[in-house]
């Protein structure tokens, strides 16, 4: 199941790309059921595999995974382990699906905030040089949201590109809602790109 990056709806031109190509370091395998797309030198057989985007040196950081088993990690093992744990989040809402009375309108899977927070922390602790790239792509470029059960959101009390602190109505019953994920920075834990305002997963405040 796709977790970190899930591109299930893609422009039609993706169908005419070679089986393997590269975009900003990502290894991309193309091929869709019932559609045969030969590679550039016509030496490989046509593929029917779905689109996979896996970051070089990892086996779990991308759409799905290319690992042979749970213990199979890539060269950047620390970061890969972070992606593996993220993939195994036990509370997700897949693209265009509804759960907890929330409908995910995006084209990729959204996760419970606790899973995204663990992923953020894990990448920050990783000694691998690519951890910051993975974090930047997921938290800053993908610009996803997470969900959790909390008191109803009234408004955003503190905002810096993302909501950093929510005003919640604690007189009401808790319910599942969407929350912004923080911007990722490779510097101090939970600090923004300019290392000025602390950015973490927005907490519950009335």
| Catalytic annotation, pick one of 6, 80, 87, 116 | 116
Of 85, 185, 93, 188, the residue nearest 138 (C-alpha): 185
| Catalytic annotation, pick one of 86, 87, 112, 180 | 86
Compute the chain's Rg from CA coordinates.
Answer: 19
Has 100 been annotated as catalytic? no
Tokens of 63: 């759409």
3-state secondary structure of 191: strand
Has 86 been annotated as catalytic? yes
Asked if residues 63 and 7 have their Cβ atoms less than 8 Å apart, the reply is: yes
Query: How many whole angstroms separate alpha carbon 204 and alpha carbon 196?
Result: 22
Active-site residue numbers?
A: 86, 116
């Amino acid at each position: 199941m796709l977790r970190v990056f899930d591109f299930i709806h893609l422009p039609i031109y993706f169908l005419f790309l070679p089986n393997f190509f590269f975009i900003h370091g990502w290894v991309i395998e193309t091929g869709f059921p019932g559609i045969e797309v030969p590679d550039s030198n016509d030496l490989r057989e046509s593929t029917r595999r779905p689109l996979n985007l896996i970051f070089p040196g990892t086996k779990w950081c991308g759409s799905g995974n290319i690992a042979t088993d749970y213990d199979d990690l890539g060269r950047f093992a620390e970061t890969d382990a972070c992606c593996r744990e993220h993939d195994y989040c036990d509370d997700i809402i897949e693209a265009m699906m509804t759960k907890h009375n929330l409908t995910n309108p995006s084209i990729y899977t959204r996760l419970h905030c606790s899973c995204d927070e663990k992923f953020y922390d894990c990448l920050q602790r990783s000694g691998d040089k690519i951890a910051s790239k993975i974090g930047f792509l997921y938290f800053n470029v993908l610009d996803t949201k997470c969900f959790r059960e909390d008191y109803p959101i009234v408004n955003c009390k503190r905002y810096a590109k993302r909501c950093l602190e929510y005003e919640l109505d604690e007189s009401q019953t808790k319910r599942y809602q969407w929350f912004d994920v923080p911007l990722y920075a490779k510097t101090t834990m939970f600090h923004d790109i300019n290392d000025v305002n602390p950015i973490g997963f927005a907490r519950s405040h009335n």
